[in-house]
Structure 1
Amino acid sequence: MLVNYEVHRGIATITLDSPHNRNALSAQLRAELRDGLRQAIEDDAVRVVVLTHTGSVFCSGMDLKEAAGASAGDQGVNEFPAILEQIWTSPKPVVARLAGPARAGGVGIVAACDIAVAAHEATFAFSEVRIGVVPAVISVTVLPRLLPRAAHELFLTGEAFDAVKAVEYGLLNSSVPVDRLDDEVRRYTDMLALGAPSALAATKRMLQQPRSHELSQVFADMLKLSAQHFGGPEGQEGIAAFKEKRKPSWVPTD
């Protein structure tokens, strides 16, 4: 097994466990990662997903040993967009936890997550152009995160940058000392667990969907969405819990 999966108190932790090749996206790791993500998404008991790693590197990108000699259109990585899409469209929030570097496809995974937290020591790079390829697939998740000027600089130069810069550029939410990493991840997962499952899923979709250029249509769409959830079972439970000064039914209990 190259990917470990466990659930504790509504948190599914998916761990890349292939340190011998710096958690490169080999065919086996990709298949197991897809399975882990599918399992977390389909499990009603899972509220939040944490994506992390063993070893000193979060993910070094595609396994170049497997890609060597591949012809155009036959790199054996056709399922990688599906992995990014699984993370991006997951109805459960996905949190990336990095204690070490990410490169190329690994950065695409980080960008696909809703929340990304890294230790100060972590570094990042879009190294594709330096080996003669294009960061095309990962651009789908990375470009919505990065500042435009930063995207041009980093994609074209392949220069490595640290976690502090990654926060400034929009790739990460937070960078902390490595001994505070787990506490910072827990801070986010605890907050996310307070949200109602259907409301979280709908909010993710709202954040990602394109909007009409007609302002009146945007307000009409958002009014409809708001009314659906105010009048829905979660909205009514949340309002009742607020009035009764208690926790809503979806909040995990110790």
Structure 2
Amino acid sequence: MTLIGRTRARGVETLSLDSTANRNALSAALVGELADALTDCAKDGDVRAVVLTHSGNTFSAGADLRDPPHPDALVDLLRQIVTLPKPVVARVTGHVRAGGLGLLAACDISAACTTASFAFTEVRIGVAPAVISLPLLPRTDPRALARYYLTGERFDATEAARIGLLTVAGDDVDEALAPILDGLRRSAPQGLAETKALLTAKVLKTFDQDAADLTALSARLFASPEAHEGMTAFLERRDPPWVL
């Protein structure tokens, strides 16, 4: 079963998360397939840019709690998006939770429709947005992250754009993306690669400095009794015992 759809139009390769049975949760299999597709795009001289989108009403529900990727694999995927020598553009027409927000932050440009919603839900199951902080902390408003990391509150696309998680939000995401994709198609491959390297230098420093510590933190938290109870409660659709 293929979990990543692939199409191409005028040099833009579209990779679609296509695991709607679990709301495009980041399973070990999906992360592996997406990494392979990105590797193919990096090697293909006919690909000018990559669009990362989704099937169904959810871009990604976060980590697959039944088949989670190893933290190292998620770090590698996020770094691969950041270092891909071609722009990666997120196209969101649904909801994004937890680990899915790390994918958005890793992309060079992110666009969403105004009906999309976002939430960092990790704290509610007893873990923390550790690995996904690698691209998020350098690119997103720190005061806003403090609020949404700590509360797990849902916020809309307008707020996501205000805090730097999105580049643009609009009623019609394809209309919003049209001039962006046109600009990428008009740009030289070398110019795009070198300009992207300038833009991502500080993000990559965060990966180099903090990836090992945040990977260890993620593994420790997911193995803890509190996280086990939180994940069990989530899967059973009930409140965990700490809810007041």
TM-score, L = length of structure 1 = 0.77
Q: What is the alpha-carbon distance in structure 1 between the residues aligned to residue 135 and residue 103 of structure 2? A: 8
Q: Partner residue of 2:222?
A: none
Q: What is the alpha-carbon distance in structure 2 between the residues aligned to residue 15 and residue 47 of structure 1? A: 17
Q: What is the alpha-carbon distance in structure 2 between the residues aligned to residue 66 and residue 89 of structure 1? A: 26
Deviations 1:189-240 (A, max 9, x none): 1111221111111111112225xxxxxxxxxxxxxxxxxxxxxxxxxxxxxx
CA shift for structure 1 position 65: 1.7
Q: What is the alpha-carbon distance in structure 2 between the residues aligned to residue 16 and residue 207 of structure 1? A: 26
Deviations 1:83-117 (A, max 9, x none): 10111111100100000011111000001001100
Amino acid at match of 1:190: D
Tell me the percent identity.
48
CA shift for structure 1 position 26: 1.0
CA shift for structure 1 position 183: 2.1
Amino acid at match of 1:137: V
CA shift for structure 1 position 66: 2.2
* 1:104 maps onto 2:77 in alignment: no
The answer to whether the 8 Å contact 2:71/2:131 transfers is no
The answer to whether the 8 Å contact 2:121/2:152 transfers is yes
The answer to whether the 8 Å contact 2:105/2:139 transfers is yes
Unaligned runs of 5+ in 1: 68-74, 211-254
Q: 1:183 aligns with which of 175, 188, 196?
A: 175
* 1:94 maps onto 2:59 in alignment: no
Q: Partner residue of 1:151?
A: 145
CA shift for structure 1 position 78: 2.5
Q: How does 1:163-174 map to 2 (within 5 A)?
A: 163-174=157-168
Q: Partner residue of 2:35?
A: 34
Q: What is the alpha-carbon distance in structure 1 between the residues aligned to residue 78 and residue 114 of structure 2? A: 25
The answer to whether the 8 Å contact 2:95/2:118 transfers is yes
Q: RMSD of aligned C-alpha atoms?
A: 1.2
Q: 1:82 aligns with which of 72, 76, 85?
A: 76
TM-score, L = length of structure 2 = 0.80
Q: What is the alpha-carbon distance in structure 2 between the residues aligned to residue 130 and residue 84 of structure 1? A: 23
The answer to whether the 8 Å contact 1:27/1:77 transfers is no
Amino acid at match of 1:52: T
Q: What is the alpha-carbon distance in structure 2 between the residues aligned to residue 209 and residue 96 of structure 1? A: 20
CA shift for structure 1 position 169: 0.5
Structure number with greater Rg is: 1
Q: Which runs of 4+ in 1 moved over 6 A?
A: none
Deviations 1:3-30 (A, max 9, x none): 1112221000000011111000112111
Q: The residue matched to 2:190 in structure 1 has which SS?
A: helix
**Aligned residues, how many?**
201
